[in-house]
Structure 1
Amino acid sequence: MRNPIPVAVAAFLSCLSTGALLAQVGGPGRDAPRLKGPEPFTRETPAPPMQRQITDDVRRRRNYPDQPPLIPHSIEGYALDLNANKCLSCHSRKFTEQSQAPMISVTHYQDRDGNFLGGVSARRYACLACHVPQTAAPPLVENTFTDMDALTVPERRSR
């Protein structure tokens, strides 16, 4: 008599891989939203113009805790390489009184083990890895994001 366990495992793995494949391909009504672009997508078209950056210097509210702050000013022409970081000329602890810019977080002065350093950590030196400027570009796909405060307000009212 054959052992049924290997057959059951093979059937399970087959169903699992088929389900994963169908989830990626999608089905009726489950297609991924189409981003803007030419039809057919292989046709070459000129790149759209760069969107204008929002440069009103107004701080934007963060959408979730620990979200890196957005950049509310133009950064065109800023040097950011191994030898220079223009952001630090205003946002480092040393220059915030003079520039009136917000100081970078103290977490930027910590190494990966949480030890405080005398200067900005190398892993936090590339500001644009987390912080981005805002533009007036329209969204490419519909956004259904709900702010966490909007989700918790009804709870407070019910008490």
Structure 2
Amino acid sequence: MKKTIRVGLAAALTLCGTLALAQSLNVTLRGGTVDDQVAVDRNYDQMEGRIKRNYRQQPPLVPHSIAQYQIDLRTNQCLGCHDWSKAGERNAPTLSMTHYLDREGRELDQIAGTRYFCNQCHVPQANAPALVENLFQPSIGR
């Protein structure tokens, strides 16, 4: 029991020492203090139109802005156009049938809860430079 207390105390002192050192050096992830003005990168334009997929099972990318879309437990604005009952009249792609299957594979009349939050998989694309060097080559079209 005495060893446990000593090890715990040593770990706590090490953590406190690290925090004190960071505070004394005024090191932040932003590169400045809280009050400093931080330069913000410019916003990049949303790419419009259908975007080619890079691999066979890739979820389709969103070809329009979703900046003001509400997607929460009560509302999913994507379904206003893409639900199977509305897609034809809105001239929008219909959700895949897989979005209407529960975990056991049974068909549902409404979108499955596991597929309700669209932007978990479907993301909009911006015409922005890569954040890191990327040598990715799409597997489609080879």
TM-score with structure 1 length normalisation?
A: 0.63
Contact map agreement 2:47 2:127 (CA 8 A) in 1: no
CA distance in 2, matches of 1:84, 1:50: 30
| Residue 121 (structure 2) aligned to one of 110, 122, 130 | 130
1:75 aligns with 2:63: no
CA distance in 2, matches of 1:97, 1:54: 25
Instruction: Could you tell me which runs of 5 or more consecutive residues in structure 2 were left unpaired when the two chains were aligned.
Output: 1-27
Instruction: Could you tell me which runs of 5 or more consecutive residues in structure 1 were left unpaired when the two chains were aligned.
Output: 1-39, 154-159
The letter of the residue matching 1:95 is: K
Runs of 4+ in 1 over 6 A off after TM superposition: none
Deviation (angstroms), 1:50: 5.8
Pairs aligned (count): 111
Deviation (angstroms), 1:51: 2.6
Higher relative contact order (CA 8 A, sep 6+): 2
CA distance in 2, matches of 1:124, 1:92: 12
C-alpha distance after superposition, 1:46-68 (max 9, x if no partner): 26246334252x11111011101
The letter of the residue matching 1:101 is: A
Contact map agreement 2:56 2:140 (CA 8 A) in 1: no
TM-score with structure 2 length normalisation?
A: 0.70
Identity rate, percent: 41
Query: Counterpart in 2 of 1:43?
Result: 31
SS at 2:128 equivalent: coil
CA distance in 1, matches of 2:60, 2:98: 14
CA distance in 1, matches of 2:74, 2:39: 32
CA distance in 2, matches of 1:55, 1:72: 7
C-alpha distance after superposition, 1:63-104 (max 9, x if no partner): 011101111101121111111100000000011111101001
Q: Calculate the aligned-residue CA RMSD, in Å.
A: 2.0
CA distance in 2, matches of 1:47, 1:109: 44
